[in-house]
Amino acid sequence: MAFDLTIKFAGEGGEGVISAGDFTMRAATYLGLEVVTFKSFPAEIKGGYALSQVRMSDEKILSQGDGFQILFAFNGEAYEVNKPLLKPGTVLVWDGPEGGDFEPEFDWLEKQGVIAYAVPMSKLAKEEVGAYITKNMVALGAASELFNIPIDVYKQQIISKFSKKGQDVVDLNFRALDAGINWVKNNIKKVDPYRLPERRPQKDVIILEGNEAIALGAAVAGCKVFAAYPITPATTVGNYLSEIILKANGYVYQAEDEISSMAIVIGASFSGVKAMTATSGPGISLMQELIGLASMAEIPCVVVDVQRGGPSTGMPTKHDQADLYAAAIGGHGDGQRIVIAPTNVEENFYLTIEAFNLAERYQCPVLFLTDASLSLRAEAVPTPNIKEIQSKLINRPIITKDMDVNLDELLRYKVTDTGISPMLAPGVSPKPYAATGLEHGEDSSPRTRPDVRTMMMEKRFRKLKNIEDENQHLLEWDLGDLQEGEKADISVIAWGLTASITKEAIQRLRKKGYKIAALYPKLLYPVPVKAIEKVASMSDITLVPEANYTGQFARFIRMYTDVKPVQYNIYRGEPFIPAEIEAKIEELVGSKVNV
Give the number of residues in contact with ligand COA, rule: CB under 6 A: 21
Stretch that binds ligand COA, among 10-18, 64-72, 110-118, 271-279 (CB under 6 A): 10-18
Does position 136 interact with ligand COA (CB under 6 A)? The reply is yes
Residues 291-350 that bind ligand COA (CB under 6 A): 316-317
Spatial contact of 352 and 368, defined as CB atoms under 8 Å apart = yes
| Closer residue to ligand COA, CB minimum distance, 235 or 491 | 235
Of 147, 593, 562, 206, give the one whose Cα is nearest residue 379: 206
Does position 173 interact with ligand COA (CB under 6 A)? The reply is yes
User: Which residue type occupies 48?
Assistant: G
Does position 164 interact with ligand COA (CB under 6 A)? The reply is no
| Closer residue to ligand COA, CB minimum distance, 133 or 255 | 133
Please state the closest distance from residue 289 (CB atom) to ligand COA, in A. 23
Binding residue (CB under 6 A) for ligand COA from 23, 41, 253, 349? 41
Binding residue (CB under 6 A) for ligand COA from 5, 7, 8, 16? 16
Of 416, 580, 392, 443, give the one whose Cα is nearest residue 502: 580
Does position 232 interact with ligand COA (CB under 6 A)? The reply is yes
| Closer residue to ligand COA, CB minimum distance, 162 or 226 | 162
Tell me the three state secondary structure of residue 83: helix
Does position 141 interact with ligand COA (CB under 6 A)? The reply is no
Does position 24 interact with ligand COA (CB under 6 A)? The reply is no
| Closer residue to ligand COA, CB minimum distance, 277 or 295 | 277
Binding residue (CB under 6 A) for ligand COA from 5, 7, 10, 17? 17
Please state the closest distance from residue 472 (CB atom) to ligand COA, in A. 38
Contacts of 380 (CB under 8 A, 6+ apart): 29, 33, 34, 35, 203, 205, 206, 207
Tell me 364's DSSP state.
S
Residues 44-73 that bind ligand COA (CB under 6 A): 45, 50
Please state the closest distance from residue 282 (CB atom) to ligand COA, in A. 10
Put the strands of the sheet holding 566-569 in their side by side order. Answer: 475-478, 516-521, 490-493, 542-546, 566-569
Does position 277 interact with ligand COA (CB under 6 A)? The reply is no
Of 396, 56, 380, give the one whose Cα is nearest residue 205: 380
Spatial distance between the Cα atoms of 559 and 553, rounded to a whole number of angstroms: 10
Helix extents (H) in 226-378: 235-244, 258-270, 281-296, 324-329, 345-362, 372-376
Stretch that binds ligand COA, among 13-21, 27-35, 58-66, 370-378 (CB under 6 A): 13-21
Q: Checking phi first, is residue 143 left (phi over 0); if not, alpha (psi -120 to 50) or beta?
A: alpha
Spatial contact of 393 and 423, defined as CB atoms under 8 Å apart = no
Which positions touch ligand COA (CB under 6 A)? 13-19, 41, 43, 45, 50, 133-134, 136-137, 162, 169, 173, 232, 316-317
